[in-house]
Amino acid sequence: MLLVQFNLSNSGELVVYAFAIDCELGVDVEQVRRMTDLKQIASRYFCEAEASELMSINGGQTRQEAFYRCWTRKEAYIKAIGSGLTLPLDQFQVTLLPDDAPRFVHIGENEKAAKEWTLQHFNPAPGYIGALAYHAAARNIVFHKLQAPQKLLDQIG
């Protein structure tokens, strides 16, 4: 019997749903907005390497986007494993630089465990950044066009 897993996330005016068959998954989406305390948040919640990489980025907008790439990847993972924010975000490392492919560097200092998970980045709408984390090899991801809630209800009604 196939087991369908699902997860959802919302931010601003956007909601994202993710579905997978037979694997744990988590999704997160964030509206990119200017943050004045970005450095403090990164140093408190990200591992040292992530915070250092983030602060090495020149350019406010590029740094903001890198912050949200890191945050959404971490949030997607903790949602996939079902621990919420009880798992400290500095206990695993993800890539965040614009030219680096999305992936786990280590999970609990274990590089092998990190390779068992897949991270995928997506931009669901202008001004939003999202991530999908799942415990399986990379799969094809199908994105459906953004639709108004009433249109979705009309399709299933």
Taking Cα atoms as reference points, which of 53, 95, 48, 44 lies closest to residue 74?
A: 95
Backbone angles phi, psi at 61, to 5 degrees: -70, -40
Give the pLDDT score at 127. Answer: 95
Domain limits for position 107: 4-156
Give the pLDDT score at 70. Answer: 97
Give the pLDDT score at 59. Answer: 82
Give the pLDDT score at 11. Answer: 97
| Structural domains counted in the chain | 1
Give the pLDDT score at 84. Answer: 67
Give the pLDDT score at 103. Answer: 96
Give the pLDDT score at 124. Answer: 92
Torsion of CA 111, 115, 118, 121, to 10 degrees: 50
Q: Could you tell me the two tokens for 55?
A: 């602060």
Number of CB atoms found within 10 A of residue 134's CB: 24
> Tell me, what CATH number does 129's domain have?
3.90.470.20
> pLDDT 10s per residue in the chain (157 long)?
788 899 999 999 899 999 888 899 999 999 999 988 999 999 999 999 999 999 999 888 999 999 999 999 999 999 999 876 677 889 999 999 989 999 999 998 888 989 999 999 999 999 999 999 999 999 888 887 666 767 766 765 5
